[in-house]
Amino acid sequence: MNTTIKDIAKLAGVAKSTVSRYLNGGHVSEQTKAKIRKVVEETKYEPNSFAQSLKAKKTNFIGVIAPTLDSYVTSTVLMAIDEELRKRDYTTLIISTSKHVDREIESLISLSRQKVDGIILIATGVTEKHIETINSIQIPVLIVAQEVGHVTCIINDDYQAGFKMGQYVAQKGHRAVAYIGVAESDIAVGQRRKQGIMEGLKSAGVSDVKTFVSQFDLQDAARVTQEVLEESSLTAIICATDTIAFGAMKTITKLGKKVPKDFSIAGFGGYNISGVIHPALTTIRFKNEETGVMAAETIIKLTNGEEVPNLQVSGFDFIEGESVKSVKS
């Protein structure tokens, strides 16, 4: 049987209210403190946090809903969130939905039953149903990685990142450029990033860009790349993610061509592994740690009813690898 505050009180010969005060730093005489301390140590008493939050109306839990755990971006953000929340005495409750969108809704509801103080939703897409559920549970929700009206959001600066990359590739002298992107249902990557790239290229004089659409996985990217390579005279391929870039490199290598000699390749992500691949991939590393910290800070503010900006933008670094070469123009 677990020891309770009542047991401690009895053993120390005081009222349980006194024990509670002792534990929470209220007014207790040194003498009494000593008695209680002794009993607490002997019994290895640990307060029941459920009972505590029942009265406190505050659980110090923050729920985080993630589409998956096995992606570099998600896990980095998750680690940063967890780290920051821990510092502030919150417990992170991570729920993975295995990319089932339905489960995001379910999780929102189940977390609300757990009475978490706030929820961070790392999103890949946000539907009407999401918004509806978010409004129906009366708990603050923060959306990460996608932008939605009337909900607090943190996003990557996909437009600027795209612009930077587009400009870079164009300035390297490439004129025949292809883009392998993802479905437009993904506002952040499918739309904003693409738009940035296009305008970045344009700003440096490249306006005719062939675009293709791939899934997020390597296999599909490798497949799509075959189509891409049918375009003649191409010198550079910009890929929406590093994984897609790896897929492209795989296909190119398989065809006996070389990066960057025959084709220049660029990606977005900055995974650790990018440095292993030879040649090192030129890419954009989003500041995932910054995003995580920001998310933790923001959700805490929200639970305290403080004002926070409706949209916050997290930065990025440009990583110059060896996968994009200069061409004479």
Partner DNA sequence: TACAGAAATGGAACCGGTTCCGTTTCCGTT
Partner DNA sequence: AACGGAAACGGAACCGGTTCCATTTCTGTA
Residues that bind DNA (CB under 7 A): 2, 4-6, 13-18, 20-21, 23-24, 26-32, 45, 47-48, 51-52, 54-57
To the nearest 10°, report the CA torsion of 15, 17, 22, 26.
-130
210 binds, among DNA, a copy of itself, none (CB under 5 to 8 A by kind): none
Nearer to a copy of itself, 78 or 170 (CB): 78
Residue 226 is a binding residue for a copy of itself (CB under 8 A): no
In 242-322, which ranges are continuous DSSP H helix? 242-254, 288-303
What's the residue count for the chain? Answer: 329
d(CA 109, CA 188): 25
Calculate the alpha carbon distances from 199 to 88, 158, 303, 325 in Å. Answer: 41, 12, 39, 21
Judged by CB under 8 A, the chain residues 95 through 154 that form the site for a copy of itself are 95-96, 98, 109-110, 112-115, 136, 138
Nearest to 189 by CA among 123, 273, 252: 123
Residue 255 is a binding residue for a copy of itself (CB under 8 A): no
Nearest to 235 by CA among 173, 318, 163, 161: 173
199 binds, among a copy of itself, DNA, none (CB under 5 to 8 A by kind): none
SS3 36: helix
Nearer to a copy of itself, 162 or 247 (CB): 247
Which residue among 15, 34, 51, 183 contacts a copy of itself (CB under 8 A)? 51
Nearer to a copy of itself, 84 or 147 (CB): 84
Q: Find the shortest distance in angstroms from Cβ 17 to DNA.
A: 3
Q: How many CA atoms are closer than 13 Å to the CA of 233, on its beta-carbon side?
A: 6
Judged by CB under 8 A, the chain residues 27 through 46 that form the site for a copy of itself are 44, 46
Nearer to a copy of itself, 94 or 327 (CB): 94
83 binds, among DNA, a copy of itself, none (CB under 5 to 8 A by kind): a copy of itself
Calculate the alpha carbon distances from 223 to 231, 286, 307 in Å. Answer: 14, 26, 47
Which residue among 118, 140, 196, 247 contacts a copy of itself (CB under 8 A)? 247
In this structure, what are the phi and psi dihedrals at residue 142, rounded to the nearest 5 degrees?
-120, 130
Which residue among 20, 43, 91, 160 contacts a copy of itself (CB under 8 A)? 91
Which residue among 13, 275, 309, 315 contacts a copy of itself (CB under 8 A)? 275
215 binds, among a copy of itself, DNA, none (CB under 5 to 8 A by kind): none
Q: What angle do CA 294, 296, 299 make, to 5 degrees?
A: 105
**DSSP letters along 168-184, please?**
HHHHTT--SEEEEE--T
To the nearest 10°, report the CA torsion of 320, 196, 198, 204.
-60
Site residues (CB under 8 A) for a copy of itself? 2, 44, 46-51, 53-54, 59, 68-70, 72, 75-76, 78-79, 82-83, 91-96, 98, 109-110, 112-115, 136, 138, 218, 246-247, 249-250, 253, 272-273, 275-278
